[in-house]
């Protein structure tokens, strides 16, 4: 048995790839349409993943990534390079060049400017961040506003530091350039498109 197959024998992927990935993409699209709102899906019922990555994050990457995309793994997920290369065919890149950024702990993000923001003419060339989060840990009380939100929305389930919030909100002035973010963990998912502003209240 080739070494890479042996290394990944304990880790699975979608049982029914077309059907399961379509379920995931529908949840992702709904999350993007309803920013800063918790979406629910039983990601754990799809497959098992190598620790410490949550099945929700693996499902997102396996749905969105293929041989035409590139992925950066934060240090806590660096050992998963073979898993994603094998199951998704995705290329591993440095953070400045990657299309998708997979983060095991938000504390591993020190500077959002390290990632691709796209350009004025091609904002779609920006990176998408997928960040593992424990939604049981409460965060600061925040008000979200922007497209997809009627007037404003109040939440406290994102444990984000003041410096992260400040840097991300400053980024919105660069629209259409910017970063789209998915937070995921357990059976929960939340999207923060680049147009969504989060403010303490």
Q: What is the pLDDT along the chain (201 residues), one digit of tens a residue?
A: 344 444 554 467 788 888 889 999 999 999 999 999 999 988 777 777 888 899 899 999 999 999 999 999 999 999 999 899 988 999 999 999 999 999 999 999 989 999 999 999 999 999 999 999 988 888 899 999 999 999 999 999 998 888 899 999 899 889 999 999 999 998 899 999 999 999 988
Fold entry, domain 3-200: Rossmann fold (3.40.50)
Q: Which pTM was predicted? A: 0.91
Give the residue from 57, 146, 159 showing the smallest Cα distance to 103: 57
Contacts of 166 (CB under 8 A, 6+ apart): none
- Report domain extents, the chain: 3-200
CA gap 85, 88 in Å, rounded: 6
Give the residue from 66, 125, 57 showing the smallest Cα distance to 90: 66
């Amino acid at each position: 048995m080739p070494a890479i197959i042996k290394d990944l024998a304990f880790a699975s992927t979608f049982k029914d790839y077309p059907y399961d990935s379509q379920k995931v993409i529908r949840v992702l699209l709904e999350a993007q349409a309803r920013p800063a709102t918790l979406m629910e899906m039983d990601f754990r019922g799809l497959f098992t993943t190598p620790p410490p990555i949550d099945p929700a994050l693996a499902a997102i990457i396996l749905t969105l990534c293929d041989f035409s995309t590139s992925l950066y793994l934060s240090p806590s997920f660096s050992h998963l390079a073979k898993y994603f290369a094998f199951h998704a065919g995705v290329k591993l890149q440095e953070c400045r060049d990657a299309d998708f950024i997979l983060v095991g702990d938000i504390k591993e993000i020190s500077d959002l400017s390290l990632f691709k923001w796209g350009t004025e003419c091609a904002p779609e060339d920006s990176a998408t961040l997928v960040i593992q989060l424990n939604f049981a840990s409460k965060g600061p009380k925040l008000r979200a506003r922007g497209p997809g939100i009627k007037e404003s929305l109040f939440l406290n389930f994102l444990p984000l530091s003041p410096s992260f919030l400040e840097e991300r909100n400053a980024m919105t002035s660069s629209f259409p350039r910017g970063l789209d973010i998915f937070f995921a963990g357990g059976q929960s998912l939340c999207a923060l498109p680049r147009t969504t502003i989060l403010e303490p209240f």
